[in-house]
Amino acid sequence: MTENFRLIYLKSQDSESSSLKETSSHFDPSENTSLNTYSHQEILSQAIDDLRHPDPKVRTLAVQYYLEKSNLSIALPLLQEILEDEDPGVRAQALLSLIKLGNAIIVPFLKKHLKDKDEKVRRIALKGIFQTQQNIDINLLKPLLNDESPWVRRKMATLLGWKEVEGGQTLLSEMLKDKESMVRKAALSSLLILYPEEGETQMWKAISDSSHEIRTWVKAQLNRMLQKPTQKRVNL
């Protein structure tokens, strides 16, 4: 069964990276007719064995199946080992699968991996925090202001526009000072979404931003804002 099962695993993906896209749909092995020739317990047992396979691609697919098809209480003992995998792709898939479960029990794992050495894993953990927690502790997010990856910092700025977090406006204001223009732009966008008055104030200040891209974007946004009242009067 072993090699045949692994072959089905590998054929289920178009590429190694496809299973790691944050917005992609997860492969459902239960929909594969070849996979259905095996019992659930046989597949689960093979997935457990494959969590230690030397090929990280096989480990990634095994993680995806095992965490999504196994009972969470059964999977928990293996979580620590899976999330310490040397391959960032395996760790990323483990977090994605856990987030999909939507259980609050995974929050400690997400918090821990906000400090993961791989920036993609940190971004996934951060998004998971926003997806699974109603009340987010701002102190959990503050260290990410100095994250070495601008992609992590931009992700935080974007997520702070998803829902109001106590202290979130202050954090976004701090991010307007970020050295990377994409982070500053994301912070401006989130301020406009959740804190429109402050957002508009900061937009006027950003007219003199050092980034040509931001200056152009800000001018376009402000022009639209200024035109709205005029359009309303014309319609009346």
pLDDT tens-digit series, residues 126-151: 999 999 888 899 999 999 999 999 99
Render pLDDT for 42-77 as a digit per residue (tens, 0 to 9). Answer: 666 776 777 778 888 888 888 877 776 666 655 666
Considering the chain, what is the average pLDDT of its residues? 79
**pLDDT average, residue stretch 18-40:** 44
Cα distance between residue 95 and residue 132, in whole Å: 12
The pLDDT assigned to 13 comes to 43
Identify the residue with better confidence: 104 or 109: 109
CB atoms within 10 A of CB 24: 11
Residue range 214-221: mean pLDDT, rounded: 93
Q: Averaged over 212-221, what is the pLDDT? A: 93
Q: Taking the domains of the chain in order of start, what are their residue ranges?
A: 1-133, 152-236
Q: Is the predicted pLDDT of residue 233 greater than 90, yes or no?
A: no
Question: Phi and psi of 142, rounded to 5°?
Answer: -55, -45
Q: State how far the Cα of 96 lies from the Cα of 64, in Å rounded to an integer.
A: 8
Least Cα distance to 204 among 229, 186, 223, 187 occurs for 223
pLDDT of 23 over the 90 cut: no
Query: Mind giving me the DSSP string for 7-20?
Result: HHHHHT-SSTTGGG
Q: What is the pLDDT of residue 105?
A: 78
Q: Is the pLDDT of residue 2 over 60?
A: no
187: amino acid identity, one letter? A
Please give the pLDDT value at position 37.
Answer: 54
Predicted confidence at residue 63, as pLDDT, reads: 80
| DSSP states of 85-125 | -SSHHHHHHHHHHHHHHT-GGGHHHHHHGGG-SSHHHHHHH
User: In the chain, what percentage of residues exceed pLDDT 90?
Assistant: 46
- pLDDT per residue as tens digits for the range 174-210: 999 999 999 999 999 999 999 999 999 999 999 999 9
Please give the model's pTM, rounded to 2 decimal places. 0.75
H-helix segments, the chain? 2-11, 40-50, 56-69, 72-83, 88-101, 107-112, 119-132, 138-141, 150-159, 168-175, 181-194, 196-205, 212-235
Residue 186 corresponds to which tokens in the numbers above?
Answer: 């994301």
Q: Cα 167 vs. chain centroid, distance in angstroms?
A: 21
